[in-house]
Structure 1
Amino acid sequence: MAEETVTEATKRGYRKTRQGVVTSDAMDKTIVVTITTLKPHPLYGRTLRRSRAFKAHDETNDAHTGDTVEIMECRPISKEKCWRLVRVIERAK
């Protein structure tokens, strides 16, 4: 039989990515990213705005409050932190 080559990404599995706005950068190497989603109400259909905050690892302290960033799921770094900063999409003005 032919041997299958397993790539690094297949072994590791799919990792989620999210885009949001940095709401806090007060901690060292940690940012709080708020992600807002729009969902319809199940009965009435009106669009509701729902937001959730994620703590993400920022190794270089690059992101600041108000920046739009992309974060990616990773291994647990601490009790509440299992996301890491991928890139800063847009700086705050």
Structure 2
Amino acid sequence: MEYKEEIWSGHGIFHLAKKDGQTKTILLNCEINTDIFEGFRVEFLDESANQEESYLVSYKDKVFTTHFGNPPVYFHLSFQERKEQLRLKYGYDESE
């Protein structure tokens, strides 16, 4: 399995899942301009992309905006909220 991480200036995330199982995630540290949006849109629309599992989401002024795709249902949760959700689901105790 190959892992590659790219970090750009701003707030957002592009996650591309491909039909062959490969994934690519880019964390954005800049606002999404037209060039960035179009580049991600082309990748998202490519026939090799699994559009059901891919997404582009930005965060600005405390608002998440899904530009395209399907972020996970737990995407908007804070780390602590997600941790508690998993604790309830799997029943682990942090003291263990």
Q: Is the TM value for this pair above 0.5?
A: no
Instruction: Tell me which protein shows more strand as a share of its residues.
Output: 1
Task: Compute the TM-score of the two structures, normalised by the length of structure 2.
Answer: 0.23
Max Rg structure: 1
Instruction: Tell me which protein shows more helix as a share of its residues.
Output: 2
